[in-house]
Structure 1
Amino acid sequence: MKLKSYNMDFPQVFELGVWLIYVCLYKYSYYSGLTPTIPQADRLWPFPELILYAIFLSVYFIPFYRIIIPRFLATNKHLGLLLVTIVYVAFISKISNLAVNYLFMSVRGESDELYRFYYYQWQSSLNQAKYIFAGWNLDVLVTDLIAFSSIAFVRFAFENERRRYNLEKENLQLQFDVLKTQLQPHFLFNTLNSIYSLSLKGAAETPRFIMLLSDMMRHILYNSSKELVPLKDEIVFLQNYMEMEQKRYPQSTFTFQLAVEDSTHLSIPPLLLLPLIENSFKHGSHRLVDQAYVNMVLKIEKGNLCFSVENSVYKNPMTKQEVGGIGLPNIRKRLQLYYPHTHQMLLKENEDRFLAELTLTNL
């Protein structure tokens, strides 16, 4: 199973938004308000190059929020992060201001209308550089620190959530692999016994059941490694599974009702429905008494899937039966990952029957 990939995730969008809204709009507006009173300053967007100026003044924060903050947060060194932040702001911000103001002042002639602005900013940055822990332009520095630190914290929180999601996904994949390894030997052993009995009797349907077994094992081995498989393939697998079990318990009644409009375009995670069926065959009364039943119903209407499995139950008061195993917890976790807000699974049990109902919406 593979995680879905996106061209741009939320931290990238958030970071781009900070640069566009805060740097290119807010800081541009701040610096354009400091320009001398000249005709162009009365326009709606006076001196567009101040956007580039604001960007250059903010570039020094990139290593801070992309490298320094994540490293300290990852090691939980919060006090160290505070000290590094003070030193970084005290020295790097002033060095950056000096370099940027000198660069923009140098490319402007003294007769240029923005030269006085850059010259004033250059002089201000020189005066600020004389002091180590003072002389900052707090109007800009505080908002810079808040805006760019928020990018780092958003990225850190998002990466932690993605890491947790990946670990949960990997853990679920391991459980799913265990489920497959449990299914294959158990199912293969029982089915081979049934086929062996047929062969001893010289039954004409022996080749058919061999082919059914082959198709089912092929589905388990190859399709179960995919993230999604066509729903019609899963239906065929479940029908074959039901037919195999019916052969093992000929005195019981197993039914599979389909009410499907069109499943050609629908896909679901492989073997998603199997634990519900396996649970019915594992705990159903057909293992102990004749005339038992397992009824499956699969309905698809307007992109909604409803799957139910009902089986008769034989309760021995001397023994305590537990419903489930690795199968039901596995399907719950897979449903939460694949259909976090579009699924519902209900389990109902009384004295003589057990019912499992699964609903998936907006497939």
Structure 2
Amino acid sequence: MFWASYFTFNIVRWGSYFNDYWYSLKSNLVEFPLHIIIVYINIYYLVPKFIIRRKYKTYIFFLLLSLAVHYLIRSGLNYWLVTEDIWPEAEGLHEAFGFNHIIAVTLGELYVVGLVSAIKFTIDFVIERNKNNQLLKLQYETELKYLKAQIQPHFFFNTLNNLYALTMQRSEKAPEVVLKLSEIMQYVIYDVNKKKISLLKEINYIHNYIELEKLRRGNMVESDMNIAGDIDDVKVPPLLFLPFIENCFKHGLKNGEKIFVKINFKKHGDQLDFKLKNNFNPDYTAKTKNGIGIINTKRRLELLYDNRFELETYPVEDQYRVILKIPVK
């Protein structure tokens, strides 16, 4: 389509210039196959073989050689098949193979080669960029799925440990734990596969997790959760906050010590603030092994929000604090 359009344009252009469309048709029938040949030699042979390998001098040599061969063939065919006046647009009488004619034909051919090559490489660049964007998106999605896949068994493992402890004690709380666990399983199996879920649903499962810990530890757990702002329409990535909640119970306090957890969700404008505060024992925390939950969460935040989030985790005396700010649009 490109060459057909270019061919038609050239016939009309030069036919109008000379007021001789028959001459324009004949000369373009000679020249255009040569245009096509030299353009494709440049695009598919010279550029890949020399430019991409940074052999610029060799490229220039072979390009000039191909232009020289092109000139000889084009001028000869025009002279023998079309007209003896091979340069009718120039003033005065010019013979073939003269210096001025060689320069004019060579520059004209360089224009064709440059124009078509620029169009071709621009199209290739756009196609390659789109492919790279699709691959990058696929890589992000694959990594996100991998990170969530790590969190799910990690989460179940901790919860099943809680249930195991209760069954070993023959506690009457075990059936309630199973019920809570079934709700969490529904969340992990169905909701985690979604890109985003309702913040209210996420909060509900955070509540279930804390209730499981309370069933396990009894009155050794105190919790307080506050919600500010209109969060009815807020959606968040699943399992984004749970790893921080888990760490309140996993690390920082010896068995028998009371755990206090304070959680705040606040939506203002297009931003959601999540704040968590829990007590911990600095000496004991230094001896515990860090889990994969927080590491995964940080990586997920980077993939999901790039640099549009803020995360701070730091100790203050005998308390540990988490501040996370994410966009909700």
TM-score by length of 1: 0.60
The answer to whether the aligner puts 1:309 opposite 2:276 as a matched pair is: yes
Q: d(CA) in 2 for partners of 1:184 and 1:71? A: 54
Q: d(CA) in 1 for partners of 2:306 and 2:258? A: 39
Instruction: Provide Cα deviations, 1:219-259, integer angstroms capped at 9, x if missing partner.
Output: 11222122222222211111111111122222231222222
Letter in 1 for 2:17: P
What residue in structure 2 maps to residue 296 of structure 1? 263
Q: d(CA) in 2 for partners of 1:249 and 1:69? A: 74
Shift of 1:214: 0.7
The answer to whether the aligner puts 1:178 opposite 2:150 as a matched pair is: yes
Alpha carbons 2:281, 2:318 under 8 Å: kept: yes
For the residue of structure 1 that corresponds to 2:184, the secondary structure is helix
Shift of 1:333: 1.9
What residue in structure 1 maps to residue 205 of structure 2? 237
Letter in 1 for 2:155: L
Shift of 1:208: 4.2
Aligned-residue RMSD, C-alpha: 4.6
In structure 2, relative to structure 1, the CA distance for the partners of 1:83 and 1:276 (3 Å cut) is farther
Letter in 2 for 1:342: R
* 1:317-332 superposed matches below 5 A: 320-321=286-287, 324-332=290-298
Shift of 1:284: 3.4
The answer to whether the aligner puts 1:261 opposite 2:230 as a matched pair is: yes
* 1:1-363 superposed matches below 5 A: 35-36=16-17, 78=53, 135=106, 137=108, 138-157=110-129, 159-160=131-132, 162-194=134-166, 196=167, 200=170, 202=172, 207-250=175-218, 251-264=220-233, 266-285=234-253, 287-316=254-283, 320-321=286-287, 324-363=290-329
In structure 2, relative to structure 1, the CA distance for the partners of 1:63 and 1:135 (3 Å cut) is closer
TM-score by length of 2: 0.65
Shift of 1:193: 3.3
Q: d(CA) in 2 for partners of 1:315 and 1:71? A: 61
Q: d(CA) in 2 for partners of 1:233 and 1:248? A: 23
For the residue of structure 2 that corresponds to 1:36, the secondary structure is helix
In structure 2, relative to structure 1, the CA distance for the partners of 1:80 and 1:316 (3 Å cut) is same
Structure 1: which 5+ residue stretches go unaligned? 1-18, 39-56, 99-118, 121-126
Q: Indicate the larger mover: 302-311 or 151-160.
A: 151-160
Q: d(CA) in 1 for partners of 2:47 and 2:200? A: 47
Instruction: Provide Cα deviations, 1:304-339, integer angstroms capped at 9, x if missing partner.
Output: 21111111111227x734674322221122112222
Letter in 1 for 2:206: L
Letter in 2 for 1:332: K
What residue in structure 1 maps to residue 85 of structure 2? none
Q: What percentage of aligned pairs have identical amino acids? A: 20
Q: d(CA) in 2 for partners of 1:221 and 1:151? A: 43
Q: d(CA) in 1 for partners of 2:215 and 2:13? A: 84
What residue in structure 1 maps to residue 81 of structure 2? none
Q: d(CA) in 1 for partners of 2:64 and 2:180? A: 71
Q: d(CA) in 2 for partners of 1:166 and 1:269? A: 17
What residue in structure 1 maps to residue 94 of structure 2? none
Q: d(CA) in 2 for partners of 1:81 and 1:35? A: 40
Alpha carbons 1:309, 1:357 under 8 Å: kept: yes
Instruction: Provide Cα deviations, 1:250-295, integer angstroms capped at 9, x if missing partner.
Output: 223122222241324x22221111111122221132x434333111
Structure 2: which 5+ residue stretches go unaligned? 20-34, 74-87, 90-96
Shift of 1:347: 0.9
In structure 2, relative to structure 1, the CA distance for the partners of 1:262 and 1:292 (3 Å cut) is closer
Q: d(CA) in 1 for partners of 2:139 and 2:119? A: 31
Alpha carbons 1:342, 1:362 under 8 Å: kept: no
Alpha carbons 1:296, 1:308 under 8 Å: kept: yes
Shift of 1:139: 3.1
Q: Indicate the larger mover: 82-91 or 340-349.
A: 82-91
Instruction: Provide Cα deviations, 1:20-64, integer angstroms capped at 9, x if missing partner.
Output: xxx99xxx89x96995399xxxxxxxxxxxxxxxxxx99x97999
Letter in 1 for 2:304: Y
For the residue of structure 1 that corresponds to 2:282, the secondary structure is coil
Shift of 1:166: 2.9
Aligned length: 277
Shift of 1:351: 3.0
Alpha carbons 2:270, 2:328 under 8 Å: kept: yes
Alpha carbons 2:191, 2:197 under 8 Å: kept: yes
